[in-house]
């Protein structure tokens, strides 16, 4: 086939994500070859979603041969062994400089491995985090590509064209090499866990301590969405709270079982925080809150055993609304400060080079954590690309100073009421720890030296010391 008649890109895996991504690419004027392991799935797609720019292929050989060089192939199959299996099969047909893109939710270490293995074979591998689910894939996702910087120029335009746009700017930026794109996606998902949980805790406080109805809380969130908290998640929270139960009296939110699920990316982020020694307590508390929610039977038993007091209503309801708004905002700043600190740590650990303003720009559209507040993060890193921690940025420093008392007062109020707020307390404790120059860790060091002769440093002289605590006690 003449090169000019060939297709521009291929998509392998035509389940929810692959199908919609292929249609999105085709809509942008690119010619797309599509393939699915089970051929009938491909044939169904061609039949049900006919598109002049899409051609179905029954074999990987046909698929690869239908593409212009360097070939660009997006894999959208189940993360894990399926990705390796597809890559191994492709290796028979791809040639030097061809580009294999994994757009699934792969673990970053797998992407790092695939990048290195394929580089040795002169094949470019990109691990690309794609956020936004089915609708994002179809209409414009947030895209986090990681791979070789030079090869990125070959796929940049297509990926920019299919991405979400904010004020005309594509929600995509090159991240760094190897598994960097999937790492950023993983941290994005962790941040999403934190955002969701602080919103859920806010709703719970407004309901139980504020005594507001669902409709009133919906209106409160709608008002929040006009200010500094303007974001996709605040918006959908307001909308969720308005929905009446279609099958019975009352509101749907009150009928939903309080057990939350998770697919594992928040867990990956938490494990990474531990692996790199980076405190991401808001994200890990949000994950723990989901685990706690899932042990419903144990919670029912514990509530009976320990008797839960009635929540005391807070008299000044307007003040409570302001406290919740400020607390949500402050905890969000702290959560993002933790997430971006983890990225900084990973940059060193995995020898990546990150542009944090560019990373924040990706999140502005097409994904769950899109928010007005990301503009402030972009500006913070534009002002100082090496910012040690977001809390030191001039804007955020002032915002925290203005709002931290609300978070402290709200946390106290919730604790007095025995109302669970795992992420709010984590955010506050992180901040209090961060701004304490001398901590209690001298006691930890003494204990470690007492039972394990682990030694300690002193504040008044250089060196490593051990004290014979047993002999002298
Ligand atoms: P799934 O994750 O449900 O995977 C189904 C696809 O993988 C089918 O095309 C299936 O082919 C193919 N596949 C499997 Br399973 N094993 C295979 C193998 N050994 N060789 C070749 N193909 C194989 O699809 P999805 O929900 O579209 O998600 C795709 C990726 O995008 C995943 O990594 C997912 O985590 C990620 N993601 C999904 C969402 C979402 O909202 N769904 C959002 C963001 C990211 P078959 O038809 O022959 O079984």
Residue 3's pLDDT band, with cuts at 50, 70 and 90, is: low
Cα 177 to middle of ligand 1, angstroms? 24
User: Are β-strands 124-131 and 142-146 bridged in parallel, bridged antiparallel, or unpaired?
Assistant: antiparallel
Q: Evaluate: CB of 89 within 6 angstroms of ligand 1.
A: no
Does position 126 have pLDDT exceeding 90, yes or no? yes
Cα-to-centroid distance, 254 and ligand 1 (Å): 33
Residue 117 clears pLDDT 70, i.e. is over it = yes
pLDDT given at position 472: 77
C-alpha to C-alpha distance for 285 and 289, rounded to whole angstroms: 6
Atom of ligand 1 nearest to the CA of 14: 9
Pocket test for ligand 1, best of 10, 12, 15, 111 (most atoms within 8 A of CB): 15
DSSP 8-class letter at 246: S
Predicted confidence (pLDDT) per residue in 321-364, tens digit = 999 999 999 999 999 999 999 999 999 999 999 999 999 999 99
Phi–psi pair at 374, nearest 5 degrees: -65, -30
Structure tokens at 338: 């933790």
In the predicted model, what is the mean pLDDT of the chain?
Answer: 96
Q: What integer is the mean pLDDT of 410-417?
A: 97
Per-residue pLDDT at 143? 98
What pLDDT, on a 0 to 100 scale, did the predictor assign at position 4?
A: 67
Q: What is the pLDDT of residue 473?
A: 77
Long-range contacts of 434-437 (CB under 8 A, 24+ apart): 434/389, 434/391
**Helix and strand numbers, DSSP H then E, in the chain:** 19, 9
Contacts (Cβ under 8 Å, ≥6 apart) of 302: none
Query: In terms of residues, how long is the chain?
Result: 473
CB contact at 8 A, 29 and 54: no
Output the CA 83–ligand 1 centroid distance in Å: 9
Q: Which is nearest to 126 in space by CA: 107, 96, 101?
A: 101
Give the distance (Å) from ligand 1 centre to CA of residue 133: 12
| pTM: predicted TM-score of the whole model, two decimal places | 0.96
* Average pLDDT score over residue span 116-125: 96
Judge if the beta carbon of residue 1 lies within 6 A of ligand 1.
no
Ligand 1 touching residue 17 (CB < 6 A): yes
Quickly list DSSP for 176-208.
Answer: -STTHHHHHHHHHHHHHHHHHHHHHHHHHHHHH
Does pLDDT of 389 surpass 90? yes
Tens of pLDDT, residue by residue over 239-295, are 999 999 999 999 999 999 999 977 788 899 999 999 999 999 999 999 999 999 999
Confidence at residue 2, expressed as pLDDT on a 0 to 100 scale: 63
pLDDT value of position 471: 87
Structure tokens at 437: 């120059």
* Residue written as token pair 């192939």: 73
User: What is the pLDDT, as a whole number, of residue 5?
Assistant: 87
Identify the pLDDT of residue 264. 80
Over 80: is that where the pLDDT of 102 sits?
yes
pLDDT digits (tens, 9 = 90+) for 179-211: 999 999 999 999 999 999 999 999 999 999 999
Please identify every residue annotated as catalytic.
185, 192
Q: Residue 1 pLDDT > 70, yes or no?
A: no
């Amino acid at each position: 086939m003449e090169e000019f008649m060939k297709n521009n890109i291929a998509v392998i895996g035509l389940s929810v994500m692959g199908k919609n991504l292929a249609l999105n690419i085709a809509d942008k004027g690119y010619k797309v070859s599509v393939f699915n392991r089970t051929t009938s799935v491909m044939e169904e797609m061609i039949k049900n979603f006919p598109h002049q720019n899409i051609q179905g292929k029954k074999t990987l050989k046909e698929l690869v041969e239908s593409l212009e060089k360097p070939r660009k192939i997006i894999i959208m199959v189940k993360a894990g062994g399926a990705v390796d299996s597809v890559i191994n099969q492709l290796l028979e047909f791809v040639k030097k400089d061809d580009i294999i893109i994994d757009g699934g939710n792969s673990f970053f270490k797998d992407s790092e491995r695939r990048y290195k293995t394929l580089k040795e074979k002169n094949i470019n591998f990109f691990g690309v985090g794609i956020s936004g689910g089915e609708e994002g894939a179809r209409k414009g996702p947030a895209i986090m590509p990681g791979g070789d910087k030079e090869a990125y120029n070959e796929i940049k335009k297509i990926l920019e064209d299919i991405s979400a746009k904010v004020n005309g700017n594509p929600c995509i930026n090159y991240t760094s090499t190897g598994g960097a794109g999937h790492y950023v996606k993983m941290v994005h998902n962790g941040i999403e866990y934190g955002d969701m949980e602080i919103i859920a805790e806010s709703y719970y406080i407004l309901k139980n301590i504020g005594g507001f109805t669902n409709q009133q809380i919906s209106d409160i969130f709608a008002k929040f969405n006009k200010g500094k908290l303007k974001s996709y998640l605040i918006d959908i929270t307001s909308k969720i709270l308005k929905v009446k139960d279609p099958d019975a009296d009352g509101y749907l939110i009150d009928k939903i079982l309080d057990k939350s699920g998770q697919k594992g990316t928040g867990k990956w982020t938490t494990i990474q925080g531990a692996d790199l020694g980076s405190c991401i307590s808001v994200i890990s508390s949000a994950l723990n809150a989901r685990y706690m929610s899932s042990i419903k039977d144990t919670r029912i038993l514990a509530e009976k055993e320990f008797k839960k007091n009635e929540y005391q209503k807070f008299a000044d309801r307007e003040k409570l609304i302001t406290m919740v708004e400020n607390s949500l905002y402050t905890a969000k700043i702290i959560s993002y400060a933790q997430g971006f600190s983890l990225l900084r740590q990973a940059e060193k650990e995995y020898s990546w080079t990150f542009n944090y303003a560019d990373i924040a720009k990706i999140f502005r559209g097409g994904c769950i954590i899109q928010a007005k507040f990301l503009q402030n993060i972009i500006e913070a890193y534009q002002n100082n690309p090496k910012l040690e921690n977001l809390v030191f940025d001039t804007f955020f420093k002032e915002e925290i100073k203005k709002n931290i008392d609300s978070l402290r007062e709200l946390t106290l109020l919730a604790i007095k009421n025995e109302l669970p707020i795992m992420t709010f307390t984590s955010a506050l404790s992180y901040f209090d720890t961060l701004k304490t120059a001398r901590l209690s860790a001298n006691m930890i060091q003494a204990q470690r030296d007492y039972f394990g002769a682990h030694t300690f440093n002193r504040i008044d002289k250089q060196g490593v010391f051990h004290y014979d605590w047993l002999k002298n006690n």
